Amino acid sequence: MRLIGETGDQLGTMPLFKARELAKERGFDIVEVSPQGNPPVCRLLDYGKFKYEQTKKERDGKKRQKSVYLREVRMRPKIGEHDIQFKTRIAKKLIEEGSKVKITILFRGREITHPELGKALLERVASSLQEETIVERTPVLDGKRMIMVLAPAKQQLVKPERKPAEESLDAEVKNA
C-alpha cells in the first residue's frame, strides 16, 4: 500500500504490517483514502478528530443553506374582488420572504364544468405579481383543483451608491 503521513508527505509503498507498526509508533490510525488505486492509498490520521471535523463542516454547510419553502394560497372560482386582492397580498408577502407559492383553485360541484374561470383567475393573480415572481408551473387542472406555482424572481445585484464624503476622500488620496 502507498502511505501518506499525517502532514501530507509521502512515506512510500510498504506492506500492511509495516504501515500498522508505523501508525502505532506515531499514535495515529490508518485510513484508506483510495481503494481503487494501484497500490491502494492510505493515510495516517487521528480518525476521531477527522470525523469531528467532518461533522463540523456538514453543520456549517447546513447553516449557510437557504431553504425554500412551498407555501399554498387557496381560492375558489367565485371569489370576491376584495378577497382576490387580499389573497394576492398574502402571496406577495410569502414571495418576498423567499418562499415559492402554490396557488390552488378549488372547484366544488358543477364549478368544474368551467375550468376557464379558474385559469383566468390564476393568470390574473400571476399578472398582478409579475414584477416579483416568475411562473414556475403554468395553470394545470389536477382532479378538482387547478394549480399554478410562482417562484421569487432572481433579484439583480445593485451596486451601492457612493457617498460624496467617500468620493472627496478618494480624490484627496489620488492628488497626494
Do both 54 and 101 map to the same domain?
no
Is the bond preceding residue 164 a cis peptide, omega within 30 degrees?
no
User: Domain range holding 94?
Assistant: 70-152
- CATH code of 107's domain: 3.30.110.10
**Of 84, 165, 90, 152, whose CA–CA distance to 118 is shortest?**
84
Taking only the tens of pLDDT, the chain with its 176 residues reads 888 888 888 888 888 888 888 888 888 888 888 888 888 898 888 888 888 988 998 888 888 777 778 999 999 999 999 999 999 999 999 999 889 999 999 999 999 999 999 999 999 999 999 998 999 999 999 999 999 999 998 753 344 444 555 555 555 555 55
Is 131 within a domain? yes
Name the 3-class secondary structure at 145: strand
Distances (CA, A) of 94 to 9, 69, 127: 53, 9, 16
Domain count along the chain: 2
Q: CB neighbours of 101 closer than 8 A, spacing ≥ 6? A: 70, 71, 72, 73, 91, 94, 95, 133, 149, 150, 151
Do both 56 and 105 map to the same domain?
no
pTM of the predicted structure, to 2 decimals: 0.54
Do both 42 and 79 map to the same domain?
no
Is 42 within a domain? yes
Distances (CA, A) of 26 to 29, 49, 54: 9, 15, 22
Distances (CA, A) of 1 to 24, 46, 51, 82: 16, 19, 23, 75
- CATH code of 19's domain: 3.10.20.80
